[in-house]
Chain A
Amino acid sequence: MIDLLPLYLSAKLALVTTAILLVIGAALAYPLAFRRFNGKSLCEAFINLPLVLPPTVLGFFLLVLMGPRAAMGRAWQALFGSGLLFTFTALVIASIIYSLPFAVQPMKTAFTRIDKRLIENAYVLGLSPISTFFRVILPNSLGGIAAGAILVFLHTLGEFGVILMVGGSVPGQTKVASIAIYEAVEALRYHDAWVLSALLIPTSYVFLLVSNKVFRSE
């Protein structure tokens, strides 16, 4: 009987990451789309950095940053009384950074496509910037937000290099499907590798189909 826990973990990681990145992504995409400020292009390039960095580089940075010798790891230890590395939470943090551009870019594009007059009308009618965001901007950029969510979900589902560096393959915590498949292949358990892969492919495929539909309806 093969262990399906890694698949569940992958799905959970992808869902949690997507939920958090929807909020963070919107919060970052909003100023990028509507505000002018110094160093905007610097910020945008920084957000996009995970797109071009090798996952191993990102993973190595995160390993050191979240470790007990760095400020972040120490602060976590002081706050919660246990280490951050090699936990599910550490994977969520890693995935958020890794998939950040996949959330921000589609949302930013969707925000900038909204007719400026709609937003100006909202202001004229006395809506605050916050209620304008929730009542005008969000409903008019659902396509972009959905596209971002799907991309983040799939990107996290397929994440490997970063997790290999910071995960430590702890069953039930950090041994996600991609790692389990890798280990199964290494241990010559090809049957297990087949089953896990076979379950992962249709999931990814269906989500990609959905995301194509969303993009086309844009």
Chain B
Amino acid sequence: MSHVRILFMFLLSVIGSMPAMAEDTLKVAVAANFIAPFEELAQQYETKTGVKVEATFSSSGKLYAQIANGAPYDLFLSADEDRPRKLAAQGLSQTPFVYARGQVVLWTSRKDLFSAKEWQSIVKRADVAKIAVANPETAPYGAAAKQALEQARLWEAVQPRLVFPQDIAQAFQYAITGAVDAGFCSLSSAFTTEGRMGYYLRVPQAPAIIQAACVLTSSPRKDTAAAFADYLRSKEAMAVIMRYGYLK
């Protein structure tokens, strides 16, 4: 009996010592390609205003499904325009705004590929056995990469060598660990510490990925969220975003 009591007290003390969630902590759902710049932005914003920003990173598709089913986020930074637009159409969010334009690159850590001049030449090489394309159905960067491959008339031929990670972050992870020879990633991933150790080629055939964000209607702190949304479009934030390989 006393054991049970001790265990119970222990559990209580654990629960009691957990930090209480601050009232004005912003909960933001962020597309996986935007991890690196967002961490810096959140830090900068917190030092500036004292408002804590807490991010959940995942594929836009997954985040969209969560939000559509009532997930308690204040703000949603998608990797595309469609999903925020759909949320707005359902009355689940306020009017979306564009916060970044992403670019697709083909990234590789294989030293012998560093001399390639065009991404197509890497894709066509017989000794490139595996190429990662984020699931085109749910990851906007994957969809853009697929479009580029189709335009270059390589999509059919490359099928047997394709691997489909769940989001752009996993695509980059496969490429870093050498699990694949090359991966279609976001230009921003090439700007990270790990990214700099590899080599990337731009994929101009892939359309620029217009990334939109929106304040969610269910947010209990819409004013704080709107202030952060304004900050995202400020010159200061734009400078950070562009430093990570996004276009204005």
Interfacial residues, chain A to chain B (CB-CB below 8 A):
63-64, 67-69, 82-83, 85-86, 164, 168-170, 175, 183, 185-188
Contacts and interface: CB of A to CB of B under 8 A. Distances in A.
A67 B129 contact: no
Interface of B: 59, 61-62, 64-65, 129-130, 132, 135, 137-138, 162-166, 174, 177-180
B65 A169 contact: no
B163 A169 contact: yes
Contacts of B178: 67-69
A67 B129 CA distance: 12
Given A86-B163, A164-B166, A186 B129 contact: no
A86 B177 CA distance: 13
Nearest to B139: A186
B138 A183 contact: yes
A168 B135 contact: no
A67 B163 contact: no
**Closest 9 pairs between A and B when the two form their complex, measured CB to CB:** A168-B163, A169-B164, A187-B137, A186-B61, A69-B178, A186-B138, A67-B179, A86-B163, A85-B179
5 contacts: A68-B179, A83-B129, A86-B180, A169-B163, A188-B65
B138 A170 contact: no
Interface of B is mostly: loop
A72 to B, nearest CB: 13
B170 to A, nearest CB: 9
B164 A186 contact: no
A188 B86 CA distance: 13
A164 B164 CA distance: 10
B177 A169 contact: no
A175 B135 CA distance: 12
Given A69-B177, A186-B135, 15 more contacts: A67-B177, A86-B163, A86-B179, A168-B132, A168-B165, A168-B179, A175-B164, A183-B135, A183-B137, A185-B65, A186-B137, A186-B138, A187-B61, A187-B138, A188-B61
Contacts of B165: 168-169
Nearest to A86: B163
B177 A64 contact: yes
A185 B137 CA distance: 11
B130 A85 contact: yes
A169 B132 CA distance: 10
Contacts of A170: 162-164
Contacts of A186: 59, 61-62, 65, 135, 137-138, 166
B166 A169 contact: yes
A45 to B, nearest CB: 25
B174 A168 contact: yes
A67 B177 CA distance: 7
A168 B163 CA distance: 5
B105 to A, nearest CB: 20
A21 B129 CA distance: 30
B156 to A, nearest CB: 14
A189 to B, nearest CB: 8
A193 B179 CA distance: 29
A136 B127 CA distance: 53
A114 B178 CA distance: 49
Nearest to A185: B65
A60 to B, nearest CB: 9
A24 to B, nearest CB: 26
A162 B130 CA distance: 19
A68 B163 CA distance: 15
B212 to A, nearest CB: 18
A181 B41 CA distance: 35
Contacts of B61: 186-188
Contacts of B65: 185-186, 188
B138 A86 contact: no
A26 B129 CA distance: 37
